Structure 1
Amino acid sequence: MSNEAGGGAAPKRTQVVVVGGGPAGLLLALLLHRAGIDCVVLERRSRDYVLSRIRAGVLEQGTTDLLRTAGVGGRMDREGLVHEGIDIAWRGETLHIDLRELSGGKTVTVYGQTEVTHDLYDALDTAGVPVVHEAADVLPQEVAGTAPFVTFRTEAEGEKRIDCDFVAGCDGFHGVCRTVIPASTIKTFERVYPFGWLGVLVRQPPIQEELVYAHSNRGFALCSLRNPQLSRYYVQCSLDESVEDWPETRFFDELAARLPQRIAANLKRGPAIEKSIAPLRSFVAEPMRHGRLFLAGDAAHIVPPTGAKGLNLAVSDVFYLSRALVAHYLDHDDGHLDRYSADALARVWKAERFSWWFTSMIHRFEDDGGFGQRIQEAEFDFLASSRAAQTALAENYVGLPF
């Protein structure tokens, strides 16, 4: 497959270089193009690799709204599954959280990140926006000055350089963009959790229509889905374990043991299409701007997946950054650019708090002992008895407003 999709070879100069071809970078590029702003996307992996990654699939209301604004919501609206609630299982019982009622009419949509990426690629191809794949050794330079540029290398064309006005670092937690910010000007905050999630994708109908988050004395479990015939299941596991330690029989036996019996009875087993273990961490880097370099998505922050906030936080960053760049070019107003980091981080930290809270309440923490277990029980009892607490959960789960 060609390294360049849609727009041919990268130009020598553009207005914005977007580093990272995941959904955050692709959406930002599309929004900028729709506003008449020139941009180029640099992605170190092939398109096939990007489209093979299995990632989150729960989209907040604000995310779906922004995808529609960008003109890529058609297939999502046809094929995505709107969810009006979630279930929380605890001690064999189930608490239903009515998202629509408690949040004033908002919902979430189950639509896989891979499908979002497909839709964005199709739109960028049609628009002719350059997306350079397999771009190696990408390096933003002179970002603290007034004339930044990005160097990279491709197998076909060798060393390349693009001069630009701004660089958008959408290249993930392990990307290069955050590393070019001097350590003296950036501060990081991190919490690493003492367990991981073992995820299994199986071509079977979901266990039920709504997502199930389950706490048990054996650990956490989550029953999710990608479509009516594709289910995604997770169990909390030790970081010392590998996927080879979890054959399908052991996985499904353990999953069923962590669920209420009436729900477990609906579980349909099958061979794993994909199986992986993901560690959990909370991470924030601030500020999210250094000169003419702006960080967005996982390049600036990571959340545990419990609250389904990773992709959605990246989209909210893109909302703030695209608004700021459009105001700069179209209105000659840099107010939003100057406030980008503060605006984005205000929402980031609220999502970090919610993800930490939900993770802390519903997982098993071996080292917390009896006191920690009693605190978890009191937390759930309060949630079950308080409409105000359920409303707070629902408002955060469907997504706080941009």
Structure 2
Amino acid sequence: MHTQVAIIGAGPSGLLLGQLLQRAGISNVILERQTPSYVLSRIRAGVLEQGMVELLRKAGVHQRMDAEGLVHDGFELALGGRRVHIDLKGLTGGRTVMIYGQTEVTRDLMAAREAVGATTLYEARNVQVHDPKGEHPWLTYEHDGQAHRLDCDFIAGCDGFHGVARQSIPADALEIFERVYPFGWLGILADTPPVNEELVYATHERGFALCSMRSATRTRYYVQVDANEKAEDWSDERFWNELKARLPQELADKLVTGPSIEKSIAPLRSFVVEPMQYGRLFLVGDAAHIVPPTGAKGLNLAASDVSTLFDILLKVYREGRTDLLARYSQICLRRVWKAERFSWWMTSMLHRFPGADAFSQRIAATELDYFVGSEAGRQTIAENYVGLPYEAVDPLPTPELQVPAHCA
């Protein structure tokens, strides 16, 4: 079998890339190790930057998102009981975020792909990458008990942190940057109304907490816990009590509790690999970078990678611009590192670090107070939260300076 772009991974980034390519008439095949139901069972992010919202509209999968998603003009910071509103729309010239769960994004993309008969092979086992540095890379895999080969022009590794794509690149060709945080987020999903109309990020002497949502009737809450904690040691009652203790009293009083329908602990880490490409193999999303969820950047960074790769491939196939292929890493990494910085900053400011001395704690509290107390500081938070602009893959050339004849 031959296709123009082979995509490893049918998560949201692989499906989104496939959808954009399909609409542009560029053939693609997606190989996914898991079943569709397993992919849809992953409970992940729910805050979409405006850039990602626009990209989903460009991909033609926006109808349900626009009908059911919740547009948020801002969010709140609860600082030791004090509530500060960050006016995203007012501080960024009208930009907003959309609350729409990653599971729903994935469901919409799956449905769109199925509707046009595009090829997604689920339960494709033992995927192997071959000759990514050559002009004609190829994949081998097992499906329905048979061995197969997929020839292609390019390979997109959208298979996550533990996927085969990055592991297919020689270790000495990559540089890894990583920070592992000494805590995690214990999160639950519950069919209860949100405690607040906007998200609330709370810092407290007991630790960080986040009040998020998936819809007007389904909520997602988190509390910071030690890295060694186990989700099974936390009853629903214990979780709700701890969450209430970390929220301002007026929010704690109106918090509606209920049985959890999902409960898990997510470790926090920052991770970047450079470069994000190896020949004709391109790493997309979690395969290349991980951010702490504090800044709501993980899924959104994957979307900006997809946008960059799609724009480059479009110019390759329509204009023969193979010179742009080498720009993928440069363009993506500029945005990745800015998002890593923002996520690190939010994490550092809002969490309690075990063993931190009194000086460090006071400096963090003062820095946060400085930013939220200044319009320029709030604007910095807002413009990062709604998402920095996507960079053009082929910016207009700078006009040459016309040198006057008498100076030549």
Could you tell me which amino acid in structure 1 is paired with residue 372 of structure 2? A
Q: Could you tell me the TM-score, scaled by structure 2's length?
A: 0.95
Could you tell me which amino acid in structure 2 is paired with residue 112 of structure 1? G
Q: Which residue pairs with 1:249 in the alignment?
A: 237
Residue pair 1:57, 1:112 contacting (<8 A) in 2 also: yes
Residue pair 1:201, 1:232 contacting (<8 A) in 2 also: yes
Q: Which of 6, 28, 39 pairs up with 1:39? A: 28
1:4-153 to 2 correspondences below 5 Å: 12-153=1-142
Q: Which residue pairs with 1:295 in the alignment?
A: 283
Structure 1 position 174 matched with structure 2 position 162: yes
Structure 1 position 192 matched with structure 2 position 216: no
Which segment drifts farther, 117-126 or 331-340?
331-340
Could you tell me which amino acid in structure 2 is paired with residue 272 of structure 1? S
2:334 & 2:365 partners in 1: Cα distance? 30
1:381 & 1:15 partners in 2: Cα distance? 52
Identity among equivalent pairs (%): 58
- Tell me the CA shift for residue 395 of structure 1: 0.1
Q: Secondary structure at the match of 1:382?
A: helix
1:235 & 1:225 partners in 2: Cα distance? 14
Could you tell me which amino acid in structure 2 is paired with residue 23 of structure 1? P
Render the CA deviation track for 1:307-357: whole Å, top value 9, x for unaligned. Answer: 000000000000000001111011111233120110000000000000000
Q: Could you tell me the TM-score, scaled by structure 1's length?
A: 0.96
Residue pair 1:202, 1:274 contacting (<8 A) in 2 also: yes
Render the CA deviation track for 1:88-107: whole Å, top value 9, x for unaligned. Answer: 00121101000000011000
Structure 1 position 367 matched with structure 2 position 384: no
Render the CA deviation track for 1:231-261: whole Å, top value 9, x for unaligned. Answer: 1000000111111111011100000000000
Q: Which residue pairs with 1:314 in the alignment?
A: 302
Q: Secondary structure at the match of 1:366?
A: coil
- Tell me the CA shift for residue 157 of structure 1: 4.5
- Tell me the CA shift for residue 384 of structure 1: 2.4
Render the CA deviation track for 1:295-317: whole Å, top value 9, x for unaligned. Answer: 00000000000000000000000
Q: Which residue pairs with 1:344 in the alignment?
A: 332
Could you tell me which amino acid in structure 2 is paired with residue 152 of structure 1? Y
2:145 & 2:15 partners in 1: Cα distance? 23
Residue pair 1:323, 1:336 contacting (<8 A) in 2 also: no
Q: Secondary structure at the match of 1:401?
A: coil
1:158-169 to 2 correspondences below 5 Å: 158-169=146-157
Which segment drifts farther, 178-187 or 313-322?
178-187
Q: Which residue pairs with 1:327 in the alignment?
A: 315
Q: Secondary structure at the match of 2:136?
A: coil
Q: Which of 261, 272, 277 pairs up with 1:273? A: 261
Deviating above 3 A after TM superposition, structure 1's stretches of 4 or more consecutive aligned residues are none
Q: Over alpha carbons, which structure has the higher Rg?
A: 2
Render the CA deviation track for 1:195-222: whole Å, top value 9, x for unaligned. Answer: 0000000100000100000000000000
Q: Which residue pairs with 2:211 in the alignment?
A: 223
What are the ranges of 5 or more consecutive residues in structure 1 without an aligned counterpart?
1-11
Could you tell me which amino acid in structure 1 is paired with residue 245 of structure 2? A
1:386 & 1:282 partners in 2: Cα distance? 28
Could you tell me which amino acid in structure 2 is paired with residue 29 of structure 1? G
Residue pair 1:20, 1:41 contacting (<8 A) in 2 also: yes
Q: Secondary structure at the match of 1:294?
A: strand
1:167 & 1:381 partners in 2: Cα distance? 46
Could you tell me which amino acid in structure 2 is paired with residue 100 of structure 1? K
Residue pair 1:324, 1:335 contacting (<8 A) in 2 also: no
Q: Secondary structure at the match of 1:229?
A: coil
Instruction: Give the number of equivalent residue pairs.
Output: 390
1:288 & 1:375 partners in 2: Cα distance? 35
1:39 & 1:263 partners in 2: Cα distance? 48
